[in-house]
Amino acid sequence: MSRKKIATVWLGGCSGCHMSLLDIDERILDVAKLADIVKCPIVDGKEFPQVDIALVEGSVTSDEHLREIKHIRKNATTLIAFGDCAVMTNVTGMRNYFPLQEVLDTSYKNAISNDSEGTMPDHPALLKLNDKVVPLQEVVNVDFVIPGCPPHADTIFYVLFEFLNDRIPDLSDVKKLKYG
């Protein structure tokens, strides 16, 4: 069994899924025996490399996210939708119920712009949001999903460990699928 490479990414999410990943605690040593974590937003921001497993948190909210997820798809053997925002947009997708301009005005206009026209503030730190948030599987093929908001650390570890041992995880067993 060959040593694997893992990357983790966040798109449109709150980073809570990554916080839950950190909750695998000392089991990270079991992961480290079998794989290298070559990219993770908590520790670096380098270009996404070729990997065996990509854990992708969050949904696709912008053209920038769309380019990123397509790049990840090309470079990951197994792409895992990591958490409910990646799987079905979840909290990130709540803005889909409202016109984008209304969302932007409510979120930013009064906070950082004096633009009386109510247009999107032209600030380099802000993503140019698309009208609608979409889940990963709407724009790329997804190989596996880890549900939960956030997924439980036990579930994350179980899924990772199975893939690292060249097995397909089975989340039909409710004992392996923990929440919160």
Site for ligand SF4, rule CB under 6 A: 13-14, 16-17, 57-58, 83-85, 90-91, 149-150
Q: Is 146 helix (H, G, I), strand (E, B) or coil?
A: strand
Considering the complex, what minimum distance in angstroms separates the CB of residue 125 from ligand SF4? 20
**Nearer Cβ to ligand SF4, position 124 or 180?**
180
**Nearer Cβ to ligand SF4, position 13 or 169?**
13
**Nearer Cβ to ligand SF4, position 17 or 53?**
17
**Nearer Cβ to ligand SF4, position 82 or 158?**
82
How far apart are alpha carbons 143 and 131 in whole angstroms? 26
Considering the complex, what minimum distance in angstroms separates the CB of residue 80 from ligand SF4? 13
Helix or strand holding residue 81 (H, E)? strand 76-82
48 contacts: CB under 8 Å, gap ≥ 6:
7, 9, 39, 54, 68, 71, 72, 75
Amino acid (1-letter code) at residue 119: T
| Token representation of residue 100 | 């984008």
Sign of CA dihedral 81, 17, 6, 133: positive
Considering the complex, what minimum distance in angstroms separates the CB of residue 146 from ligand SF4? 10
H-state helical runs in 3-151: 16-22, 28-34, 63-75, 84-88, 100-104, 110-112
**Nearer Cβ to ligand SF4, position 52 or 57?**
57
